[in-house]
């Protein structure tokens, strides 16, 4: 059974940093596109960053330069380092994986992921 478990969320002030983790289990690591998404109640889910099994990354324009996605393959874990956080970054953050060896252009906007985590809350105060 594939499981994704997010952690690392919390409350910070504007300009602060958080590092989110997404730990996978029950998944074959050699073929994946893993991404981070966020959602605020009443708004559409946003794709933020993704990494494939070759280490290639892609980002949403609005988080480029502030967010960095990385992976620790031996630990089956993907990270999202978030710097210079703003109140508008407050949301429930999810990780998700598509069983594919690259991240397609639609990964952020289409429901392509095969598995999702339960999310971790991030709150940024002004």
54-90 pLDDT tens trace: 999 999 999 999 999 999 988 899 999 999 999 999 9
The length of the chain, given as a count of residues: 126
Distance of CA 3 to the CA centre of its chain: 15
- 10 confidence band (pLDDT: 50, 70, 90): very high
Residue 37 confidence (pLDDT) above 90: yes
Q: What is the mean pLDDT of the chain?
A: 95
Reduced to 3 DSSP states, what percent helix, strand and coil does the chain have, rounded to the nearest 5? 5, 50, 45
Give the tokens for residue 40: 């605020």
Q: What is the pLDDT of residue 65?
A: 96
What does each C-alpha distance from 8 to 17, 58, 94, 98, 112 come to in angstroms?
Answer: 11, 21, 11, 22, 25
Give the tokens for residue 56: 């290639």
**Tell me, what DSSP letter sits at residue 35?**
E
């Amino acid at each position: 059974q594939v499981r994704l478990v997010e952690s690392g969320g919390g409350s910070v002030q504007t300009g602060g940093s958080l590092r989110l983790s997404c730990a996978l289990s029950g998944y074959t690591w050699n073929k994946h596109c893993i991404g981070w998404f966020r959602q605020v109640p009443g708004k559409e889910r946003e794709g933020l960053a993704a990494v494939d099994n070759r280490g290639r990354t892609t980002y949403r324009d609005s988080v480029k330069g502030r967010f960095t996605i990385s992976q620790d393959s031996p630990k089956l874990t993907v990270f999202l380092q978030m710097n210079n956080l703003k109140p508008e970054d407050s949301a429930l953050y999810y990780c998700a994986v598509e069983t594919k060896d690259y991240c397609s252009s639609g990964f952020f906007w289409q429901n392509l992921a095969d598995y999702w985590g339960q999310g971790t809350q991030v709150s940024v105060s002004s």
